[in-house]
Structure 1
Amino acid sequence: MKIDPAFIWTAFIALLSALPTTIAITAVSVFFGFIIGTAVALIRLYRVPFLHYIATGYVTFIRGTPMLMHLLLIYFGLPMIIDAVAAALGWSFRSVSIPMIGFAFLSFSITAGAYLAEVVRSGIVAVNRGQIEAAYSVGMTTPQALRRIVLPQALAVSLPNLSNTLIGMLHGSTLAFTVSVVEINAKAQIVATTNWKFFEAYIAAALLFWGITFVIERAAGLLEKRINSYNRGGVA
């Protein structure tokens, strides 16, 4: 078998059409996952009655089961629930109206939320307790102290882990092909079937993922450098 370098470039160009889908899955899942994770982290840190146990169970279950399992559970389980509720309430809406990418958005957001909950929690714990006590001393409430003082510092501390989670979700987006979402991995398979040059197509996909990952790493590195410059009292 001979490698066809020309087809690698052809496949690479063809894969660019699937790039927006991959970026959308990654961005949506990390954005909503961060919101979920922050809420879960705060619930666990402040041990909110009853919700604390639910939050702990959520993190334990999601982190203890494969990402693909979450997607399949949502894909097969959610339509059953929606259709049952719609039938009981007499609604005309049915699960078939939900676009396939919607299942990926929901599943990956739930997955990202569990991992980001631990990232945010560790970041908050890393902030000196004296910071929030000082906030209380000047009359701030707990929400004000968290929003103005603790969370910004926790975000700075957690930046490396946040970028790792972002990269992990980018790579995990390839699982969306199991529910018929055409992202980069699925597009590589489609392109390869035209002449059975799967190896070249996957090389192109790997190069594309590598490029996106490199951009994320560089952006995170520059942002971290910027934050550290301000922490030292200087300006980048």
Structure 2
Amino acid sequence: MKLDPSFIWEAFVELLPVIPTSLLITAVSVILGFIIGTAVAFIRIYRVPFLHPVASAYVTFIRGTPMLTHLLIIYFGLPMLIDGLSAQFGWGFRSASIPYINFAFLAFSLTAGGYMSEVVRSGLLTVNRGQIEAAYSVGMTTPQAIRRIVFPQAFAASIPNLTNAVIGMLHASTLAFTVSVVELFAKAQIVASTNWKFFEAYLAAAVIFWGLTVLIERVAVVLEKRMTMYNRGGVA
């Protein structure tokens, strides 16, 4: 087998149009996962009655099972639930009308939420308890203290780990091909299948993933510097 450099470039060009799909899957899962993870982290830190054991079980399940399992459970289980409820209550809605990518959004968001909850929780625990007490002494309420003092510092401390989570979700977006979503990896397979030059197609995909990863790292460095400056009272 000989390497075909010209086909690497050809595959690279054909992969470019599906980059937005991979980025969309990553962005949606990271944003929703961060919201879920933040809520779960606060529930666990403040040991909210009834919700604390549920949140702990959720994190344990997500971290203890493969991401592909979450995707397949959602992909096969959710339609059964929707169609069952629809038949029971006489709804006209059917799961067949749901775009495949929505299953990926939901599954990856739940997965990201489980991992990000630990990232956010570790960041929140780095903030000295005395700062919250100082906020109370000047008349702040708990929500105000969390929003204005605790969360900015916790977010800055969590940026390196959050960056790793974002990169991990970008790479994990390749699993979406198992539910018929054409992202970078699936497109690479389609391109390669035309003449069986899989190595060249996968190499082109690897270059694109590497470039996106470097871009995310650069953005994270800039964001970390600005957050650190803001927390120290500088001009952001």
Q: TM-score range by the shorter chain?
A: over 0.9
Q: Residues 1-236 of structure 1: matches in 2 within 5 Å?
A: 1-235=1-235
Q: Per-residue deviation at 1:231?
A: 4.3
Q: Per-residue deviation at 1:232?
A: 4.7
Q: Per-residue deviation at 1:23?
A: 0.3
Q: Per-residue deviation at 1:136?
A: 1.2
Could you list the per-position Cα deviations for residues 108-153 of structure 1 after superposition, in whole angstroms to 9, with x for gaps in the alignment?
A: 0000000000000000000111111111112222112111111111
Q: Bigger shift: 143-152 or 62-71? A: 143-152
Q: Find the residue that maps to 2:65 and give its secondary structure.
A: coil
Distance in 1 (alpha carbons) for counterparts of 2:22 and 2:116:
20
Distance in 2 (alpha carbons) for counterparts of 1:184 and 1:114:
25
Distance in 2 (alpha carbons) for counterparts of 1:65 and 1:85:
27
Could you list the per-position Cα deviations for residues 41-85 of structure 1 after superposition, in whole angstroms to 9, with x for gaps in the alignment?
A: 000000000100000000000000000000000001000111111
Gaps of 5+ in 1: none
CA 1:2–1:103 in structure 2 vs 1: closer, same or farther (change >3 Å)?
A: same
Is the CA contact (8 Å cut-off) linking 2:153 and 2:231 kept in structure 1? no
Q: Find the residue that maps to 2:2 and give its secondary structure.
A: coil
CA 1:165–1:189 in structure 2 vs 1: closer, same or farther (change >3 Å)?
A: same
Kindly report structure 1 stretches of 4+ aligned residues shifted beyond 3 Å.
Answer: 229-236
Letter of the structure 1 residue corresponding to residue 66 of structure 2? P
Is the CA contact (8 Å cut-off) linking 2:26 and 2:166 kept in structure 1? yes
Distance in 2 (alpha carbons) for counterparts of 1:231 and 1:120:
17
Q: CA RMSD in A?
A: 1.1
TM-score in terms of structure 1 length: 0.97
Equivalent residue pairs, number: 236
Could you list the per-position Cα deviations for residues 131-176 of structure 1 after superposition, in whole angstroms to 9, with x for gaps in the alignment?
A: 1111111222211211111111110000000000000000000000
Identical aligned residues as a percent: 73
Q: Find the residue that maps to 2:220 and give its secondary structure.
A: helix
Distance in 1 (alpha carbons) for counterparts of 2:232 and 2:49:
39
Gaps of 5+ in 2: none
